[in-house]
Structure 1
Amino acid sequence: MSSLFRCLALFAALWSLASLALADSPDRRLALEDLMKLEGIGRALPDPSGRWILFERIRPYDSYPDYGFGMYAFRKSGHEIWRLDVRSEAPPERLPGLDPDAHTYLQGLSPDGTILVLIECRDGSTRLVLYDLATGTSFRPDRGPALSRLGIHEPVWISDHDLVYAALPEGAQPPDTSIRMATGRARIALWEAAWRGDTVTAREVRNDLAGQAVAGELVRLDVRSGQVRHLADGLHADLSLSPDGRHLAALAMIRDRRRAERDRARLDAVHHELRLIDLATEHIHAPAPGLDVSPGSLAWAAEGRKLALFAVPEGAPWSRGTHQVLDLGRDRLRPYPHPGLDLVSERERSLLQRPERALLLDAGLAVLARPAADPEAGESHFTYRDIAEANLARPDWYLISPGQPHRNLTEGLEAVSPIPLDAGASHLVVQAGDGIYRIDPSGRQARLTPDGYSDIKVHWPSSMMAAPGILRAAFGTESLIEARTGNTRRVGLIDFSEETPRLQHMFGGLTPDAQALALSAGGDALLMRQDSETGTQLVLITPEGRARTRLSLNMHLEGLDWGEWQSLSYTVPDPARPGRRQIVTSCILMPPGQAPASPPPMILDIYPGARPGCTARTPRLAYPDPHSPYVWAARGYAYARIAAPRDLIRTEAGPITGLPDMVGAARQAILAAGLADPDRLVLHGLSQGAVSALHVAAKTEGFAAVIAQNGWADLMSHYFGPPGIHADLYPDLLGTNMPRYEAEAGSDFAMGQTPFEAAERYVRNSPLLMADEIRIPVLLVHTDMDGFPKSQFDQMYAALARQGNPVRYVWYAGEGHGISSPANIRDLWERLARFTGETVPAPPPAGSAPDRAGGP
């Protein structure tokens, strides 16, 4: 017995030691393979029957059928269509009858709810899929759809069974989904043809094709018969059905004539002409000859006999534009000037330099604007703006009408949204900071939401390519909203189909980190996505507040130690106001288990225009970002997102010439706070950040190495050069780098001048010609199918090598703007670890005091 007790005592002691060791061991850190297994949830859509909610499930990354989507596969592909039965406890199931080896996306429903429209991408081929929800059968028209991330090619239903869409030429594929695969296959076919010797492989590009339509056509699809009919030649944008269903407005895309002077806010050499199609006769009319119409500006009056648009004479810049109203009965355009007002640009919220879309009421045109700098001058203005430009006057919705004084409709409301929820003949509905308001032309404001609603979030429509905030909901329908009342979050619908809009189907008591996806058609179930430390859950909630988890994803992330974000505020000089300083805040991710006495090495990530927001919450990971800061943190590095507001880094010398001082100030603040080892700081930049990081490396000291990925190095050759090898197949892309530099606002690299006008500015701001000033090890990473051509880093490598500076250069074949292939992602991180391990000094001996004074 005594021997048994001794054995038990020894076992207990060993178990206690083992338990203590387990308790003291650090939590598991993120591994690269954890990223490879990530799943996700995309958009959701209620089935009109009320039984199902359809949703996009993003399969584990390492199980994708291909990694060739667009410019990169992560976050954009891997989608499947699933459905959840809201009336039973059955688990979600894949929607039957679809291709399991395709990436498939929700696009929308027919007006009667019987046909589901999907976009299907397989092996570089993109097609429309019309899916019958009753029978589970599908139809794929031969004509491929044009797609655009700006939402200009969204298809439109003109009846319960007729769909009109912009179709590409036969055999063509939309670049946004297929650019890498299409380019690669075209090159292979031409190379092989040349080697065979039996086919001419010449390609010609010309700039004297003014007036020709961009290739494509407008087609009308009858989903009952599958018949596809030709409506119009050429590619069309901004399809817009009149409220009475009699006319379809569209913008024909026409090639511009050759000219030296052009609008420096334009992205391409195309203008848009208004076309009006009588859907009964299919007669096409061009009611606005000579006018270049802004895509996204078409707005019908409620009765369907008037159409508003924003336009300029062909060849004029958008800044000289005015609104026009077309009276279909008189076939006459009438200008609607806005004297004393400056129209708000969509660029302020990261879109294009064009006015926010107006609304056509019976009493006039409602436009989003602010008072002009000199309102007494009586001129109409549209000023190009930067993204999130500071110190602007507040915007409001104004009612304008020719010969009448304008009226501020949202006066007194705070934080007015640029996107209206609804409009009719005698009202508009807008979101403000404290509620949603219905406003009539006299300016009378009626709040539709109860007292105490705050943090209101409207669920704007979106599609496969167009993000929320680009597309508008059909007026007179419903909008899903989220709001906070006290400490409670609520979700519900506002129904605009009735004369007096009302809130309905309200769900309360929702957790802060839950995201509403869709409300069932019957209003009896709300589908939410819940992100937490234990992964991602798909949760169904009843009106009584009962929550049921119906799907759990990414459970392998449970228990990970992600590290901890910290905010670091400090002051920097204001170049626009000598002697003044501004407070900026950078965000620092400290690695898991970091001991304060031993500052870690740090990656300082640089991106022009960055205004990072710091959060301490668990990250929401739904795709394997190959540049994730959490991978750096898991490997023992702190990671800093450096604040670089555009107005503080732009000087008279160039758009990013103030960036070295900004990064130097961040370095001093980081070291003064003891957050990093002063001898182990690494500069890092991706995309626009790559050219910025190289610029900073040439103009500052105190860094051990620099990593530049998928960027460029010479502003002059980049201005003139192609956006990658894709211009071989898509020659219209030639010259599309130019607006980045020619712009006067809205671009991080805006010069406001061409190289013909100021060649020395391009030379003076190019890191390529600063190679002799870079004296730390450099790692250049690029790809051969990026929109920033690999030749830029070919030159940078040659320049650094010529100066004898230590430089490594790796490029990946078949990849676009970033790395998509799992094999290449793994290889990239092995190379990053090898580079930093060999170039960043080892940590100082225990007990030595790090330099926290900041240095130069």
Structure 2
Amino acid sequence: MKNITHAFVCGALLSVGAATAAEVFTVDHMLRNEDFGHAVFGPTGRHVYFEHFPAYEDMQDFSRVFVRGQQRSRILVADLEGDAVPRSAFPQVPGDGYRIGTLSPGGSRLQYFRVGSSHFVTGIHDFVKGGSVALKAIPEASVLYVGPVWISDSTLGFATTREGSLPLGVYLHAESRDELYAEWQKARRGRMATSSEIGSGEYLLTESRKVQGKLVLADAQTGATTTMADGNFESWELSPDRRRFAAVRTRPLAPDPTLPLEHAALGGVHRDLLVIETGEGSAPVLPCPDCDIAMGTAKWSPDGQSLVFFARLLGEAWSTGRLWRFDAHSDGAEPVKLGGLKLVTRAGPLQLLLAPQTAWFGDSLAVFASDPEGEARPEWFIVSPAGEARKLSGEFGDSPIHLIAVLGNRLIALADGDVWSIGSDGRRTLLTVDIDFPLKTWQAHDGFGPPPPFAAGYDPQLVLQGDNGEIVFLDAADGTVRSVVAPSERATPIAASFTAGRVLYRDVAGNVGVLSACARGGECRELMRINRHLEGVAAGTPVRIDHEGADGRQLYSWILMPPGYREGASLPTIVDVYPGGVYRNKWHRFDPWDMHALNWHLLAARGYAVLFPSLPEAYHEVPRDPLKGLADRILEVVDLAIEAGYSDGDRLAIQGQSYGGYATLGAIAQTDRFKAAVALAGPANLISMYGVFDVRLREAAELNGPRLFGASWSETSQGGMGAPPWDDPERYLRNSPLFTAPDIETPVMIMQGDRDYVSMTEGEQMFTALLRENKDALFVRYWGEGHVYNSPANIRDMWSRIFDWYGRYLGADSEER
């Protein structure tokens, strides 16, 4: 751990004079921030459509979950072969927010979402004829669901909500609260019963939990829908020939008491796979009636005649899950023979999803797996229908390869930053011989949350990104390579047109946001500027601390230094913790132009250094003791910051949100080196966390069933318990901060919203324990708020309290900087 390099600085450290002349970043600045969201080019690349979010605090309704701007966004369009001035893409109702869905295959129609305080509408705008039409049914929409899928320029397919309800992602906050209030009013009047029932075992499928939604086809000209299948659907994958959907339908889960609840399988529901013809009159096919499918794993072959998916059999654990192959000719499914390979089933930066990597290679499959008889390191293998496996990466040595496309009998892969074509005989050809910088995969993303895992497709037209921000267009069919240079090192590509060779970049100039469309040859056209109020506002400077983990792995931690930091000054430091958070070698935390209630630049602006330690954690390895040695792991990185001269070891504080709030409460029971702590939205008692319902879904539990989020989280994810509380109560007790309250000497402020899916009762229990032990503690509750706060008034109040808290225990003198 003592191997440290701390010379890497993102930008020069400002002089004291420069900082004192600049404006200091405040909460008011942040709440005025604008943003750009999702963007998409038209088919020819001449027009680009993008979302613009006006000033955050100008919204009229802050009751939605994780509000970013859904009720204030506008869809604009710029003609890049005209004046490039952004204009409204079509008439939009003032006061509502508009979000881009998808363009039809020919680009003549745009599917969009319109959100208001009490409504959610999906519309189709026709650019050729003009005018918009609203779909007669409401598509389901949340982080677990895909959106409407175009089958042709005139037809879409999607899942609907139950009649009269809003999509889950819209319902979660305001509507569930309003529904509860309506029930209270019924009880007050005394004329209507307010009971609701939820069943288990023999009573699992109560009357209210029968089929609610549908999978439908919608006419883009009229908005009318026709039903393809009844059921509550979560995803629907269209075959390349556009003849079939592979749709995932949910139903209540009857848990097996002998098997762990797999959090990576996304909740307490059972998922059936249905194959449904997009034409009318065909009955849905259930290829594997005894299968429970992992969502997002269905993948069609290029001809649309075969489908691979990952599933377990009923009565078996997810650890026994396997790949299955559906044949459209027989309508049946059989297990895929892997020749003894062990499939890698986890994906994502935190290994939170069951998402094995597969790709079709003619009749064979490419799979990411390990060979128990060979090297332990996972590799890509080609597996024939008979189960004969051949390692794909033999010629690449120890370099990991990433499959990015399949073209007939060729695989296109990334290795060591280069793109290779690999034939069926294993021979490889370098496709990027003229590119002198390393490449990585790229996909359009609106910047809100992590992008989805990259999945190899069948399109030879590939868009890749260099580590310098440059976008490379590679036609893997003929080897043609074009590139577009980024307007600056800080520019982020948010949309690309392979046809036109254009890239839409979100850039920053002195904290002011700049949206530019760039083409080959370095030509960039500026479309729009936002956040001019941040011009002249001094930002903190992130400094990277390089070190080794306990296993010798290279890690990167970051410390955000205040504006005008004077090199050599040791500052009061706030350590922001999140076990499992491992930071990249480039700064990817918040910046002043980001609108987020937890923008830690606000602390740096007050003169604090903010340390973000990388704390690797294997969530899926259970059982484990997540609190064991936690403070020591955190303090190893803290001591590096002290040794480097950045931090004052006598003025340290610790904070965290969500799992970081849990870690904060756990760590301060193990050390008294921190003078103050702030724990936001963190669990305190893993036993109660296991069984308490999500408050946002409590009224809807009898419709979809309890999601068992807390139970699966506790058993097989961040909780790490590996079993329910009654099977291993001692492990639950020793890993629950509640039961270490007597050991806490650090003053702590607990903050929680009453609409948080981490129940506010967690904070109540922790505070009660601290109160009973007569410890120094404050419990701040925010009514109407969820996991992250939305209301500008509450965000201001939260920061005022945090500033006062740290000011009391740490102080922060601008002269120290």
The TM-score, its normalising length taken from structure 1, stands at 0.85
Residue of structure 1 in register with 2:156 after alignment: 163
Q: Distance in 2 between matches of 1:180 and 1:480?
A: 38
Q: Distance in 2 between matches of 1:617 and 1:270?
A: 34
AA matched with 1:439:
I
Q: Distance in 2 between matches of 1:117 and 1:416?
A: 39
User: Which 5+ residue runs of structure 1 have no aligned equivalent?
Assistant: 1-19, 376-391, 847-856
Residue of structure 2 in register with 1:108 after alignment: 102
In the alignment, is the contact (CA less than 8 A) between 2:417 and 2:440 conserved in 1? no
- Aligned counterpart for 2:484 among listed residues 488, 492, 507: 507
- Aligned counterpart for 1:696 among listed residues 659, 667, 676: 667
In the alignment, is the contact (CA less than 8 A) between 1:345 and 1:352 conserved in 2? no
Q: Distance in 1 between matches of 2:534 and 2:320?
A: 54
How far residue 330 of structure 1 moved from its aligned partner, in angstroms, is: 3.0
AA matched with 1:217:
K
In the alignment, is the contact (CA less than 8 A) between 1:74 and 1:623 conserved in 2? no
How far residue 582 of structure 1 moved from its aligned partner, in angstroms, is: 7.4
* Structure 2 CA distance for partners of 1:245 and 1:689, relative to 1, 3 Å: closer
1:757-788 residue CA offsets vs partner (Å, 9 max, x unmatched): 11011111211111111122211111010110
Q: Distance in 1 between matches of 2:342 and 2:121?
A: 42
Residue of structure 2 in register with 1:185 after alignment: 178
In the alignment, is the contact (CA less than 8 A) between 2:486 and 2:518 conserved in 1? no
How far residue 704 of structure 1 moved from its aligned partner, in angstroms, is: 1.2
What SS does the aligned partner of 2:194 have?
A: coil
Residue of structure 1 in register with 2:9 after alignment: none
What SS does the aligned partner of 2:394 have?
A: coil
* Structure 2 CA distance for partners of 1:844 and 1:329, relative to 1, 3 Å: closer
* Structure 2 CA distance for partners of 1:615 and 1:368, relative to 1, 3 Å: closer
- Aligned counterpart for 1:710 among listed residues 671, 681, 695: 681
Residue of structure 2 in register with 1:7 after alignment: none
In the alignment, is the contact (CA less than 8 A) between 2:613 and 2:637 conserved in 1? yes
* Structure 2 CA distance for partners of 1:832 and 1:521, relative to 1, 3 Å: same
Q: Distance in 2 between matches of 1:629 and 1:311?
A: 41
What SS does the aligned partner of 2:354 have?
A: coil
What SS does the aligned partner of 2:727 have?
A: helix
Q: Greater shift after overlay, 796-805 or 334-343?
A: 334-343
How far residue 361 of structure 1 moved from its aligned partner, in angstroms, is: 3.0
Residue of structure 2 in register with 1:493 after alignment: 473
How far residue 525 of structure 1 moved from its aligned partner, in angstroms, is: 4.2
What SS does the aligned partner of 1:330 have?
A: coil
Q: Greater shift after overlay, 152-161 or 462-471?
A: 462-471
Residue of structure 2 in register with 1:781 after alignment: 751
1:199-220 residue CA offsets vs partner (Å, 9 max, x unmatched): 2211111123359765311111
Q: Distance in 2 between matches of 1:510 and 1:561?
A: 22
Residue of structure 2 in register with 1:794 after alignment: 764
* Structure 2 CA distance for partners of 1:196 and 1:303, relative to 1, 3 Å: same
* Structure 2 CA distance for partners of 1:394 and 1:106, relative to 1, 3 Å: farther
* Structure 2 CA distance for partners of 1:570 and 1:302, relative to 1, 3 Å: closer
1:285-309 residue CA offsets vs partner (Å, 9 max, x unmatched): 2232222222222222222222222
Q: Distance in 2 between matches of 1:569 and 1:526?
A: 33
In the alignment, is the contact (CA less than 8 A) between 1:681 and 1:704 conserved in 2? yes
Q: Distance in 2 between matches of 1:682 and 1:451?
A: 50
Q: Greater shift after overlay, 84-93 or 809-818?
A: 84-93
Residue of structure 2 in register with 1:134 after alignment: 128
- Aligned counterpart for 2:693 among listed residues 722, 725, 728: 722
- 1:383-462 correspondence runs (5 A): 393-413=376-396, 416=400, 418=402, 420-461=403-444
AA matched with 1:29:
V
What SS does the aligned partner of 1:661 have?
A: helix
* Structure 2 CA distance for partners of 1:196 and 1:503, relative to 1, 3 Å: farther
1:244 correspondence with 2:238: no
What SS does the aligned partner of 2:90 have?
A: coil
What SS does the aligned partner of 2:796 have?
A: helix
1:640 correspondence with 2:611: yes
The TM-score, its normalising length taken from structure 2, stands at 0.89
Residue of structure 2 in register with 1:306 after alignment: 306
* Structure 2 CA distance for partners of 1:679 and 1:505, relative to 1, 3 Å: closer
AA matched with 2:168:
P
Q: Distance in 1 between matches of 2:460 and 2:473?
A: 10
* Structure 2 CA distance for partners of 1:276 and 1:563, relative to 1, 3 Å: closer
Residue of structure 2 in register with 1:337 after alignment: 337
In the alignment, is the contact (CA less than 8 A) between 2:770 and 2:777 conserved in 1? yes
How far residue 651 of structure 1 moved from its aligned partner, in angstroms, is: 11
How far residue 570 of structure 1 moved from its aligned partner, in angstroms, is: 5.8
AA matched with 2:269:
V
1:392-412 residue CA offsets vs partner (Å, 9 max, x unmatched): 954332111243530122333
Instruction: Name the larger-Rg structure.
Output: 1
- Aligned counterpart for 1:527 among listed residues 499, 504, 523: 504
Residue of structure 2 in register with 1:368 after alignment: 368
Q: Distance in 2 between matches of 1:216 and 1:835?
A: 49
User: Which 5+ residue runs of structure 2 have no aligned equivalent?
Assistant: 1-14
Q: Distance in 1 between matches of 2:405 and 2:621?
A: 40
Q: Distance in 2 between matches of 1:406 and 1:351?
A: 25
How far residue 244 of structure 1 moved from its aligned partner, in angstroms, is: 3.0
Q: Greater shift after overlay, 623-632 or 87-96?
A: 87-96
* Structure 2 CA distance for partners of 1:530 and 1:180, relative to 1, 3 Å: same
In the alignment, is the contact (CA less than 8 A) between 2:339 and 2:387 conserved in 1? no
What SS does the aligned partner of 1:722 have?
A: coil
- Aligned counterpart for 1:200 among listed residues 189, 193, 198: 193
1:247-281 residue CA offsets vs partner (Å, 9 max, x unmatched): 33222223233531334324323222232223333
Residue of structure 2 in register with 1:378 after alignment: none
In the alignment, is the contact (CA less than 8 A) between 2:108 and 2:127 conserved in 1? yes
- 1:727-766 correspondence runs (5 A): 727-731=698-702, 732-733=705-706, 735-743=708-716, 747-766=717-736
1:671 correspondence with 2:642: yes
Q: Distance in 1 between matches of 2:347 and 2:19?
A: 51
In the alignment, is the contact (CA less than 8 A) between 1:338 and 1:400 conserved in 2? yes
In the alignment, is the contact (CA less than 8 A) between 2:622 and 2:721 conserved in 1? no
Q: Distance in 1 between matches of 2:241 and 2:249?
A: 22
Q: Distance in 1 between matches of 2:466 and 2:19?
A: 42
How many pairs are equivalent? 792
Residue of structure 1 in register with 2:493 after alignment: 516
1:560 correspondence with 2:537: yes
Residue of structure 1 in register with 2:58 after alignment: 63
Q: Distance in 2 between matches of 1:651 and 1:238?
A: 29
In the alignment, is the contact (CA less than 8 A) between 1:565 and 1:614 conserved in 2? no
What SS does the aligned partner of 2:739 have?
A: helix
* Structure 2 CA distance for partners of 1:333 and 1:547, relative to 1, 3 Å: closer
Percent identity between the aligned chains?
27
In the alignment, is the contact (CA less than 8 A) between 2:407 and 2:460 conserved in 1? no
How far residue 597 of structure 1 moved from its aligned partner, in angstroms, is: 6.6
In the alignment, is the contact (CA less than 8 A) between 1:26 and 1:593 conserved in 2? no
Q: Greater shift after overlay, 459-468 or 562-571?
A: 459-468
Q: Distance in 1 between matches of 2:449 and 2:612?
A: 27
Residue of structure 1 in register with 2:250 after alignment: 253
In the alignment, is the contact (CA less than 8 A) between 2:39 and 2:446 conserved in 1? no
In the alignment, is the contact (CA less than 8 A) between 1:125 and 1:178 conserved in 2? no
AA matched with 1:523:
A
- Aligned counterpart for 2:220 among listed residues 223, 230, 235: 223
- Aligned counterpart for 1:659 among listed residues 615, 620, 630: 630
State the superposition RMSD in angstroms.
Answer: 3.2
Residue of structure 2 in register with 1:8 after alignment: none
In the alignment, is the contact (CA less than 8 A) between 1:56 and 1:82 conserved in 2? yes
In the alignment, is the contact (CA less than 8 A) between 2:177 and 2:696 conserved in 1? no
How far residue 821 of structure 1 moved from its aligned partner, in angstroms, is: 0.8
Q: Distance in 2 between matches of 1:457 and 1:139?
A: 40
In the alignment, is the contact (CA less than 8 A) between 1:115 and 1:132 conserved in 2? yes
How far residue 371 of structure 1 moved from its aligned partner, in angstroms, is: 2.0
Residue of structure 2 in register with 1:384 after alignment: none
Residue of structure 1 in register with 2:32 after alignment: 37
Q: Distance in 1 between matches of 2:591 and 2:812?
A: 33
What SS does the aligned partner of 2:347 have?
A: helix
